[in-house]
Chain A
Amino acid sequence: MIQSADDIVRGTVVHANICVLGGGPAGIVLALELAKTGKSILLLESGGESPSEQAQALNAGEVVDEKLHSPPDRYRQRVLGGATSIWGGRCVPFDPIDFEARPWIDHSGWPISYDEVERHYAAANAWCEAGEYEYDARLATPGGMRALLRGFSPLHFDANGIERFSCPTNFGDRYRARLHSAPNVRVLLSATATSLRAARDGSRIDTLDVRNGRDCTFSVAAEQFVLAMGGMETPRLLLTSDDVHAGGIGNVNDLVGRFYMCHIAGTIGSLRVNGTADSVWHGYDVAADGTYCRRRLALLPETQAAMGLSNAVFRLHHPRIADPRHGTGPLSAIFLAQRFISYEYAKRLVSDVPPTYKTWLRHGMNAVIDSPSTGRFLLRWLKTRTLADRKFPSIIIRPRTNLFSLDFHAEQVPNPDSRIDLGSGLDRFGNRRLRVDWRYTRQDVETVATSFDLLSQELATQSIGHLSLASDERDIETVVRRDGAYGGHHIGTTRMGASARSGVVDRHGKVFGVNNLYVVGSATFPTSSQANPTLTIVAMAVRLAERLGALATRVPSIQESVS
């Protein structure tokens, strides 16, 4: 059943066995998985079935360095489905090394093994509609995928890893009917959690304060509460709820909001590939199940260990769109249409530097001179993207020469000084807004710089091509700063730890010291991997559902045996 909380009368207490806060992918998957237990599940979503300015305004906050990090009301959506209403659909599992305590990375290591997450990836793939759980290019499509660079056998990179793409599935749209028909699931929209009310001794959460769209307060009483609100709102609610736990729930050791990570990502360099056009394939292959798959070059774990690097991947990319020297009509058409592209995508497609009239003119010339290609591109885009349910994942344009750039997506090391905190402004419910102080480290820059050099050397040694940097890219840090924190990946702010000294939540996602409060989502990831987080968020939601389901069946039997 899906209802609006606006119909709930002030002062009402809504009861449920398990209350899940946040109707994004983690919350929706958790609710639907938990529905199988027969317990009553309450799913609270601050937004509605479609986006609204009123709900979205609650995401606003402060950013310490606006050049490095996007405003907190970007890349986050208060709507059923959460950020999957705007995501790109890239699905990649974490690597075993991500879970290990790596001596060269402070605060690394998860309190759970890779296997404990890996066994849920097949289910996560299904939820994300990313097809079969197969991430080896040799096996993902019948006969194997085409080579990225023919003849390239790198020593420091795995060239057979792939990423698979979701439709991209908007979890709100896709699973609305199932949420609606599940007899023991109640979804309340327009229900914003404002404070967790702990018992006097702080050992459990008694109730949750909620405000509806008409600003009326009601509360929720449940046996278990799960925060599935994302890497920013989760620490915010914990820090806000400080009436019993001074400094916020789970914050005895001042860890809530710290270790905030995104990804170090951007587009860099210029790769001229030797040989004919068919010696390189930077596009997508389609698996038998219909999913789009794409190869990438992933830094090998042995190399990471030997050189003290964090995890990173590279993808072949078309030349930078903003630079009209590429001479490619479709790219220039995208540049010209930037006003019609959403902020989240335009930020990566075009330059942060305001273009001059000369730049506009050159792009216009490109679009006209190369108009046949532009026309073909637009028609293909209409067919495979605009009108398709399983959308072609991104812009793939074959450069007129074998000239590419490189997309990099690298792990950011955990850093306690990079943090989400409460700011000075208040939202319309009187709660303090977010304050984002995202920071990168020298180690983050080194990973990109060193792995770029390694790739460059290997490409040259094997006569595959020539990789170079433009004069304004020679200092890699300027590139890192230019692209800043990768939007939408909010990681580590209520990290999982072996004890309360190293983490906010335990191996199951339960907040240390509070018996019935759990967190699910990328907020709990102690490290950020090279991978986009959504697939692992969903896998962790499935894992938590298994845990809570087991607890739910155990508790009544214990109660029965006691009585």
Chain B
Amino acid sequence: MPDSIDYSRKPVLILGASGFIGSRVTAALTYSPIYRPVAASRRSAVSVDATDPASILGALRDADCVINCIAGNDQAMVRATQVLCDAARSIPPRRIIHLSSMAVYGAATGTITESHPPVDPVSGYGRAKIECEDIVGRYVRDGGDAAILRPTCVFGPGSAQWTTRLARLLQAGRLGDLGAGGDGGCNLAFIDDVVGAIVSALDAPEISGRIFNVSSSAELTWNQFLMAFGTALCATPIRRVPARSMKIETKIIAPFRRIAAKAIKAPWTEAVTPSLAALFRQDIRIDCGAAQSALWLHQTPPDQMIAAVLRDDRMKQELAPL
């Protein structure tokens, strides 16, 4: 951490700063010569209850920009976004960067640009993200300055969902070569690329009201990624997971694992849920042309993404063979 706080740097309020993306944004801004992170969450030094209007209003007073990384349950996300936008109408920050998700596209297939409508079925999480985007959209129509980023599945050191979980499942032989069940487009976004796009968005010109997909560029299927990740993890030989086993796992065993996961965090309580299995099949390619031109999006190649994970000391411990 810098020895002293440089108040000439622009203060950036990061909501959800204790989460995976929020903490990485905070870390990136800590060393920025331009921005000063104000990490806000229930657990951080700046304690903010994102669902409490008074708390948010207080936090906005000192903020030049706001990055909304709040995750959590669907209702809390929507509520926090509403509270933020309402408060911003009273004390408008220079810009809000709102983190949405590719989940808003639901079951869409093909090459997806930001204007693609949702395709049913859309998950509860996806519907909540759509609602959040609508709230931000109304804020922009009312004269506010905000941009929305839609990262895909965020991969990288510290990603419990898209790195540790996948690694554990590969090591246990419950994921691997999925055959036709893994032909979907692997739209992973590397955490450093996501953070880079967020930081770029703080001062990028003429992006208010715009939405940006953020993903890796590789034309990769999930099978190809899982094979590469499994090989790098030495979870070899990669197991061919029969469609029959996948069906049993998702339909019969996963609910029990999820119940157990509420009490115990262990590799065996990691579930391959029906929605995860559906994602592996989803033939979707996320077009990031807009983010590339407006936010100078960098797209780390998959092999470098994997190498970065394996280099990370914390991940080395976390992903040690079972």
Q: Judge if B318 is at the interface, Cβ distance under 8 Å.
A: no
- Asked whether any CB of chain B lies closer than 8 Å to the CB of A178, the reply is yes
The reply to whether B177 and A288 form a contact with Cβ atoms under 8 Å apart is no
CB pair A289–B238 under 8 Å, yes or no, is yes
Residues of B near A387 (CB, < 8 A) are: 242
**Interface membership of B54, Cβ < 8 A:** no
Size bin of chain B's contact surface: 10 to 19
**Set of chain A residues within 8 Å of B64, measured between Cβ atoms:** none
A123 to chain B, nearest CB (A): 12
Instruction: Tell whether, in the assembled complex, residue A286 and residue B183 are in contact, meaning their CB atoms are under 8 Å apart.
Output: no
Known: A178-B183, A389-B241, A390-B240. A290 touches B176 (CB 8 A): yes
Find chain B residues with CB under 8 A from A290 CB: 176-177, 236-240
A333 contacts the other chain (Cβ, under 8 Å)?
Answer: no
Closest to A389 in B: B242
Contacting residues of chain B (235-277) with chain A, CB-CB under 8 angstroms = 236-243
- Whether a CB of chain A sits under 8 angstroms from the CB of B180 is yes
Residue of A nearest to B240 (CB): A390
Say whether A388 faces chain B, with CB atoms less than 8 Å apart. Answer: yes
Q: Are A288 and B240 in contact (CB under 8 A)?
A: no
Contact with A along B167-193 (1 / 0, CB 8 A): 000000000110110010000000000
Residues of B within 8 A of A181 (CB): 109, 283
Task: Check A177–B180 contact: CB distance below 8 A.
Answer: yes
Contacts of A390 in B (CB 8 A): 177, 240
Indicate if the CB atoms of A177 and B240 lie closer than 8 Å.
no
Tell me which residues across on chain B come within 8 A of A129, comparing CB atoms: 177, 179
A183 on interface, CB distance cutoff 8 Å: yes
Verify if B124 is at the interface (C-beta below 8 Å from A): no
The answer to whether B179 touches A142, judged by C-beta atoms less than 8 angstroms apart, is no
Q: Which of A177, A286, A288 contacts B231 (CB 8 A)?
A: A288
By a CB distance below 8 angstroms, the chain A residues around B243 are 389
Of the candidates B179, B238, B281, the one whose C-beta lies within 8 Å of that of A288 is B238
Task: Indicate if B321 sits at the interface (CB-CB under 8 A).
Answer: no
Q: CB distance B179 to A289 under 8 Å?
A: no
**Min distance, Cβ A139 to any Cβ of chain B, angstroms:** 14
Say if the beta carbon of B201 comes within 8 Å of chain A: no
- Residue on B with the closest CB to A285? B237
- Asked if residues B180 and A288 are in contact (CB atoms below 8 Å), the reply is no
Tell me the chain A residues, 421-476 only, with Cβ under 8 Å from chain B.
none
A289 contacts B183, C-beta separation under 8 Å: no
Convert A171-190 into 0s and 1s, putting 1 for each residue whose CB lies closer than 8 angstroms to a CB of B. 00111111001010000000
A287 within 8 A of B: yes
Answer whether residue A167 sits at the interface, using C-beta atoms and an 8 A cutoff. Answer: yes
Whether the pair A289, B283 counts as a contact (CB closer than 8 A) is: no
Cβ of B110 < 8 Å from any Cβ of A? Answer: yes
Contacts of A389 in B (CB 8 A): 179, 240-243
Closest-CB distance, A94 to chain B (whole angstroms): 26
**Is B80 located at the chain interface by the 8 A CB criterion?**
no
Which residue on chain A has the smallest CB distance to residue B242?
Answer: A389
Q: Enumerate 30 A-B pairs (CB-CB under 8 Å) in ascending A order.
A: A129-B177, A129-B179, A142-B236, A167-B240, A173-B180, A176-B180, A177-B281, A178-B183, A181-B283, A183-B110, A286-B237, A287-B237, A288-B231, A288-B236, A288-B237, A289-B177, A289-B227, A289-B236, A290-B176, A290-B177, A290-B236, A290-B239, A290-B240, A387-B242, A388-B242, A389-B179, A389-B240, A389-B243, A390-B177, A390-B240
List 17 additional contacts besides A175-B180, A289-B238, A390-B177; criterion CB under 8 Å: A167-B179, A167-B240, A173-B180, A177-B183, A177-B281, A178-B180, A178-B183, A286-B237, A287-B237, A288-B231, A288-B236, A288-B237, A289-B227, A290-B239, A290-B240, A387-B242, A389-B242
